[in-house]
Amino acid sequence: SQPKRVHEIEVLPAADLDRLAAAMPEETRLIVLLAAWCGLRRGEVLALRRRDIAADGTEVYVRRGVTFIDSKPVFSTPKTDAGVRDVTVPPHIVHAVVEHLDTYVGRGKDALLFTGKADGVLDEWTLRRTFKAAAETIDRPGLRFHDLRHQGAVLAARAGATTRELMDRLGHTTPAMSMRYQHAAAGRDAEIAARMSRMIQGE
């Protein structure tokens, strides 16, 4: 296969996303779903607390991110106002969100959604390791965690999001990035159109 070009955004079929999530440790499956369907950055997902999720699982309130300095988690607010946003959870994964809250998250409002050994926070290295193993399980060894955010962006663009709506959903400050995802979604439309013609020719 050809080397992956930087600007190419690989979008997994929904079934592969499900398989990827299923290949993760149970308590971290939701990380894959939130990154892919809500377009969250890694640091945003790892920083989520119970109070950042609507009680019915339908909204995610992105208010901070976490980075790791000398293996210690450092929480900070998003660098730009655009990063602070409310993201609606696609209905088909709401159940997974609620189930995760019920099963793996402490009762307190400040309880982290995902926990680990870095002062109680799931660290990026552990996530990278389990994610890499899950990606290999579904025969996508080149997949990186950040690709899931791209995925969420392209899926939203395919679903008809305008540039402004994509910017809001992803926390982009400029239209350029969001437009890139729209182009990726439009490329898919060209592919579908070509396939329609091939079907006719094949008859």
Q: What share of the chain is helix, strand, coil (3-state, %, to 5)?
A: 55, 15, 35
Closest CA to 83 of 119, 113, 43, 54: 43
Decide if 95 is catalytic.
no
Q: Which of 100, 150, 169, 172 is catalytic?
A: 172
- The structure tokens listed for 132 are 């890499």
Short-list 71, 50, 72, CA closest to 60: 50
Quickly list DSSP for 21-77. Answer: HHTS-GGGHHHHHHHHHH---HHHHHT-BGGGB-TTS-EEEE--EEEEETTEEEEE-
The neighbouring-strand residues paired with 193 are none
| DSSP designation for 165 | H
- Identify whether 7 is a catalytic site residue: no
User: What residue ranges in 77-195 does DSSP mark as E strands?
Assistant: 85-88, 115-118, 121
Q: Tell me, yes or no, if 183 is annotated catalytic.
A: no
Marked catalytic residue, from 29, 41, 49, 169 = 41
Query: In this structure, are residues 163 and 60 in contact, taking their beta carbons and an 8 Å threshold?
Result: no
Q: Which of 100, 149, 150, 169 is catalytic?
A: 149
Q: Looking at the annotation, which residues are catalytic?
A: 41, 146, 149, 172, 181
